[in-house]
Amino acid sequence: DAGVIQSPRHEVTEMGQEVTLRCKPISGHNSLFWYRQTMMRGLELLIYFNNNVPIDDSGMPEDRFSAKMPNASFSTLKIQPSEPRDSAVYFCASRKQGNLGEQYFGPGTRLTVT
Amino acid sequence: AQKVTQAQTEISVVEKEDVTLDCVYETRDTTYYLFWYKQPPSGELVFLIRRNSFDEQNEISGRYSWNFQKSTSSFNFTITASQVVDSAVYFCAPYGGSSNTGKLIFGQGTTLQVKP
């Protein structure tokens, strides 16, 4: 079975540009999570969805960040405009209903904003 | 709210040594869950184990074992006869919230380096 798929794997962009990260969760999983990982702040939960509905977006740093989940098999995390401090690895994870914290992570997208 | 402390930032051992990674958590919930995740150099986090607060029986899986002590709020992870492939960052993570709307609370992680 395919795991969580993220694209692109690497993204280099200039400050001010719009960045869109994509995630395809594991089929049959009904929860999806977006995390950001940096050396300074560690692993932070940005937002998560349950049955395509955002449940908790308290981790989204500011209005420049937005996330959508139009259907059960696709989600996007958008940063507009991007800033150098957004440089990080962004992970998407999915979870099957009832499996509590047992999440399956994608390979991550390494974002560099210059 | 849940909170987790992994006091060991980095540990370095020589292959075949045993190593224990400490995890201390805080929670106000009477029933809760604890998790360990591994992040190898490739970057992808991998689920290792889930522990329910009402089950204090220790668990062993091959070279891995977990010691859950509710009285001291600790959930320590031991690797026996470590191998170079065990080199990774290990995260202890309490789970907060209900079964369908809760979330993992990740600590800062412990970086384990196993030298040949």
pLDDT at B101 over 90: no
For residue B86, the SS3 value is helix
Interface of B with A in 62-101 (CB under 8 A): 91, 93, 95, 99-101
Instruction: Answer whether B19's CB lies under 8 Å from B78's CB.
Output: yes
For residue B9, the SS3 value is coil
* Whole-angstrom Cα Rg for chain A: 13
Whether the CB of A53 is below 8 Å from some CB of chain B: the reply is no
Please give the Cα distance from B96 to B98 (Å, whole number).
Answer: 7
Q: How big is chain A, counted in residues?
A: 114
Task: Assign A31 a pLDDT band (cuts: 50, 70, 90).
Answer: very high
pLDDT at A59 over 70: yes
Instruction: Answer whether A74's CB lies under 8 Å from A22's CB.
Output: yes
The arithmetic mean of pLDDT across residues B96-102, rounded, is: 62
Mean pLDDT over all residues of chain B? Answer: 89
Closest-CA residue of chain A to B95 = A101
Backbone angles phi, psi at A98, to 5 degrees: 90, -10
Instruction: State which H helix or E strand residue B50 sits in.
Output: strand B46-52
Quick: pLDDT tens for B9-26.
Answer: 999 999 999 999 999 998
